[in-house]
Amino acid sequence: MAIRTSLCDLFDIEHPVLLAPMAGVSGGALAAAVSSAGGLGLVGGGYGDADWLKREFDAAGDARIGVGFITWSLARQPQLLDLALARNPAALMLSFGDYRPFLHHIRDVQTNLIVQVQTLEQAREAVDAGVDAIVAQGAEAGGHGGTRATLPLVPAVVDIAQGIPVIAAGGIADGRGLAAALALGASGVLCGTTFFASDESLASKNAKQAALRGSGDDTERSSVFDIARGLDWPSDWNLRTMRNAFTRQWSADIDGLTQNLATEKERLEASQTADDTDVAAVIVGEVADLIWSREPAQATLHRMISQAEHRLRRVGQLVDPITKDRIYAET
């Protein structure tokens, strides 16, 4: 049994699984590994570093990959869009901000555009803009996000997508999540946390270990790390990370953090250099419970597909087969 959806046709991929463009984590090697395994890897353009972006595209070699940007940050460095498009990416993903000023340029080079949304109003705007695919991201996701949960958000976005492939994100780490997303009407999934501890991931050694030891119960959403890093994120979105000593100190005392910002920013930067996860952010989602060991990204993706196929077969067995007698009875 092969799982093939409209998403596979759109991106010419074997499996309907995309790597989330995690800033500082989804580099060229990880994106290439996911693409080589039959999915589509997206390099995380993050807050914009031209040298980093060039290096990671080079690290992907000849693999067919895409790239994702934080839209409000890209608006401040629009030259990065030209840099990315010059690499002929398989897809360009924009999240968190007004992507409409970039539409004309992206369409000129005929690159598939993925837009990530967290509300139905954003989804309607994406449909009206004629994007190629929509990521419906639930609040369970690691990193920045909104407030809607994945389970009710995805089918609601599917209902208004008018045939545009919808990609489920947030709380999906294995084949069970993929099967559930397909049952909700999604055409595929976007996964970050499940690849966070992959061998090819750029996450630090201690960050990977913290993710493997952690649980969704140990995550929280806040703006603590954004404030401490000096990132002026719009108020619509905050950040899910593992809870640690830094969040326990400041999550309930934002005013105190602001008053001590210079000292705490220096402390946070030092912790990142020292790989001290008691202070540095470990940016993973609620599905941390479902990642158990470091392994190649290919192994993770292939296990996800195998498990999803098994689950879909099992679900199919729960439904009585359609017989001629039943058809006549129902008509």
Summarised one tens digit per residue, pLDDT across range 301-331 is 999 999 999 999 988 888 877 665 655 555 5
Indicate whether 283 belongs to any domain. Answer: no
Beta strands at 143-145 and 238-242: parallel, antiparallel or unpaired: antiparallel
Residues 98 and 228 in one domain: no
Indicate whether 323 belongs to any domain. Answer: no
Indicate whether 1 belongs to any domain. Answer: no
Summarised one tens digit per residue, pLDDT across range 248-294 is 999 999 999 999 999 999 999 999 999 999 999 999 999 999 998 89
Residues 23 and 107 in one domain: yes
Residues 151 and 226 in one domain: no
Residues 98 and 233 in one domain: no
Residues 223 and 269 in one domain: yes
- Write 85-91 long-range contacts (CB < 8 A, 24+): 85/109, 85/111, 87/57, 89/65, 90/11, 90/12, 90/35, 90/40, 90/64, 90/65, 90/66, 91/11, 91/40, 91/42, 91/66, 91/67, 91/132, 91/133
Residues 183 and 313 in one domain: yes
Q: What is the span of the domain harbouring residue 30?
A: 6-202+296-317
Residue 244 structure tokens: 């640690």
Residues 143 and 270 in one domain: no
Indicate whether 127 belongs to any domain. Answer: yes
Indicate whether 291 belongs to any domain. Answer: no
Residues 217 and 147 in one domain: no
What are phi and psi for residue 169, nearest 5 degrees?
Answer: -145, 145
- Residue where a domain stops, chosen among 244, 274, 304: 274
Indicate whether 282 belongs to any domain. Answer: no
Residues 64 and 190 in one domain: yes
Indicate whether 286 belongs to any domain. Answer: no
Residues 142 and 218 in one domain: no
Summarised one tens digit per residue, pLDDT across range 59-112 is 999 999 999 999 999 999 999 999 999 999 999 999 999 999 999 999 999 899
Residues 135 and 176 in one domain: yes
pTM of the predicted structure, to 2 decimals: 0.93
Residues 61 and 188 in one domain: yes
- Residue where a domain stops, chosen among 274, 307, 325: 274
Query: Looking at 7-154, which runs of residues are DSSP E strands?
Result: 17-19, 42-44, 66-70, 92-95, 113-117, 133-137, 143-145
What's the structural domain count of the chain? Answer: 2
Residue 176 above 70 pLDDT? yes
